[in-house]
Structure 1
């Protein structure tokens, strides 16, 4: 049985990680479209502030302070949504965190906490969404990353968690479809996004971390999430760079390894020394609540993605053509770089 997804204005939408970045942008955009919202994050004060803002604009909002890494708290989130609205139409597993550092430097405690949020938070949310939407149907939307399909040095634990999210999401989708449960399951794979991502990340580097270009606006991800709330989609790549990374890593893995080794140690570190008293959000909610963007990008932020916009509107044939064009572009770019490096070495 295929999921029959409602117009967004008629939906009750659960969003985790709702007080900054992509989650905050999605909550504001969904409220503007008329959706009723159930918003979750660890910071209860920030949630109350956000609820007041959205309710002033006429939105119907419930907030539930939730650590997605704790299954009982996620279950309470689902139960609170049902108690208030009687149903859930879309569940967005957005909460996530990163850390920058070499594997041999990252503590086991920090690695486990990252997985507790990024992976187990998605597992907890997905299973609660399945339990609450099994009969009525709806949309389950999980936030992966371009690093769901490839990897980079210095963010190895984050990449590993996003690979795990992809494996879990894809296998859960198969089980749901096999049982003919009317739930659409979508994995969103953003490229680098201008959010509080680096400010909230645990840092082991000698310099403050940064995301490598190209960097896209969080509004692009929010639009993709809300599109998936009312349209059945298996995967959505946000930013042409995300699709190029995925294709390039699949078709030319060793070349992309070499490119990452040559560039990503430099591109993921700014020229600012690491702050000795920086406050991250790995183990507890950090600062910068209700901030969508970092304001720290030294390069322009891409406010549009022609690839993503067209892929959301395109049918299967057009999407296949887009992917073929992207694959060719990735191949041409990589072979050009490889040729330049070979000439330089000779």
Structure 2
């Protein structure tokens, strides 16, 4: 069976971590394109509200309350999707949690919980999804991080989990190709995204945390994810900052070490005391249904780099047009 990815309007799409940030933005965007949705998260109240919202707009959606760290819960997501729609075409492993703190400060229970969600949740989702997609065809999309290529201080365990996601996804892709599975496997690597991530994260710092700039809108990631649901892509970096970081870390790792040592600690702390930090969601869901944190003064609404990667023909046409215009305006040499 060859690889054939459907248009979104003909797809059933499964999204984990669907009630906040990137997952929420992706769910709303996919619904607007006519996809039928299976939405999963731990927060049942938020899932109910989201499904009601999408149904009121004419979309077909259902939800499954699940903790992706538990393989039994993930199997239920797939079973309910097949029971309701007969199949699913794209599975998006997006659920994630965060911890801000030095690796020597984070207690064992917290780092284990982070890995249960961010790494093992991705593994569980990938294995369950692939057991169906390998015979029916479709797309498996894992949401990683730019910190997978270059770990950041105060994000040690998150970086490690996302590095593990990258290694697992790369290995799985090769093994699936060797078996001729009709499945596109994509790793999405976002830069800093203005979501509720720093609000929901557990905080060990002496100030409320934040992500380092530049910040991109969650819609930039949602667009990349939904592009990968319809076009076979190996990797997509969201935001040029993430790609530049990965390239610099490969070419000049010690220089990046020094740069991070100088600026990255301050860039991840606000001037507000830690007591003002809302309750974290490491173990229990908290406030959901927010795509953005509302704390960032400037957010880049698009990424020229990601647009170029996901729309190469349009980008090539723009470059060619600019070159033609420059040639036409260039003064002719006098003879």
Q: TM-score range by the shorter chain?
A: over 0.9
**1:219-230 equivalence runs, <5 A:** 219-230=219-230
Instruction: Return the match for 2:312 from 311, 314, 318.
Output: 314
Distance in structure 2 (CA, Å) of the matches to 1:277 and 1:292: 18
Alpha-carbon displacement from aligned partner over 1:2-27 (angstroms, at most 9, x marks no partner): 42100010000000000000000000
Q: Does 1:48 align with 2:48?
A: yes
Match of 2:291 in 1: 292
Match of 2:85 in 1: 85
* Contact 2:74–2:124 (CA under 8 A) maintained in structure 1: yes
Match of 1:302 in 2: 300
SS in 1 for 2:208: strand
Q: Report the Cα offset of residue 62 of structure 1.
A: 1.1
Distance in structure 2 (CA, Å) of the matches to 1:210 and 1:115: 21
Q: Report the Cα offset of residue 104 of structure 1.
A: 1.1
Q: Report the Cα offset of residue 278 of structure 1.
A: 2.9
Distance in structure 2 (CA, Å) of the matches to 1:100 and 1:311: 31
Alpha-carbon displacement from aligned partner over 1:58-112 (angstroms, at most 9, x marks no partner): 1111100000000000001100000000011000000001100011110000000
Aligned CA-pair RMSD: 1.4
* Contact 2:199–2:277 (CA under 8 A) maintained in structure 1: no
Match of 1:280 in 2: 280
* Contact 2:5–2:230 (CA under 8 A) maintained in structure 1: yes
Structure 1 residue runs of 5 or longer lacking an equivalent are 322-346
Q: Which protein has the larger Cα radius of gyration, Structure 1 or Structure 2?
A: 2
Distance in structure 1 (CA, Å) of the matches to 2:303 and 2:75: 36
SS in 2 for 1:184: strand
* Contact 2:208–2:277 (CA under 8 A) maintained in structure 1: no
Match of 1:341 in 2: none
How does the TM-score come out when normalised to structure 1? 0.90
* Contact 2:13–2:91 (CA under 8 A) maintained in structure 1: yes
Q: Report the Cα offset of residue 222 of structure 1.
A: 0.1
Q: Does 1:14 align with 2:3?
A: no
SS in 2 for 1:30: helix
Count of paired positions: 316
Counterparts in 2 of 1:277 and 1:238: CA distance versus 1, 3 Å = closer
SS in 1 for 2:139: strand
Distance in structure 2 (CA, Å) of the matches to 1:39 and 1:304: 25
How does the TM-score come out when normalised to structure 2? 0.92
Structure 2 residue runs of 5 or longer lacking an equivalent are 320-335
Distance in structure 2 (CA, Å) of the matches to 1:276 and 1:194: 19
Distance in structure 2 (CA, Å) of the matches to 1:167 and 1:260: 23
Counterparts in 2 of 1:277 and 1:159: CA distance versus 1, 3 Å = closer
Match of 1:158 in 2: 158
Alpha-carbon displacement from aligned partner over 1:22-42 (angstroms, at most 9, x marks no partner): 000000000000000000000
Match of 1:328 in 2: none
SS in 2 for 1:147: helix
SS in 2 for 1:13: strand
Q: Report the Cα offset of residue 275 of structure 1.
A: 1.9
Match of 1:335 in 2: none
Runs of 4+ in 1 over 2 A off after TM superposition: none
SS in 2 for 1:64: strand
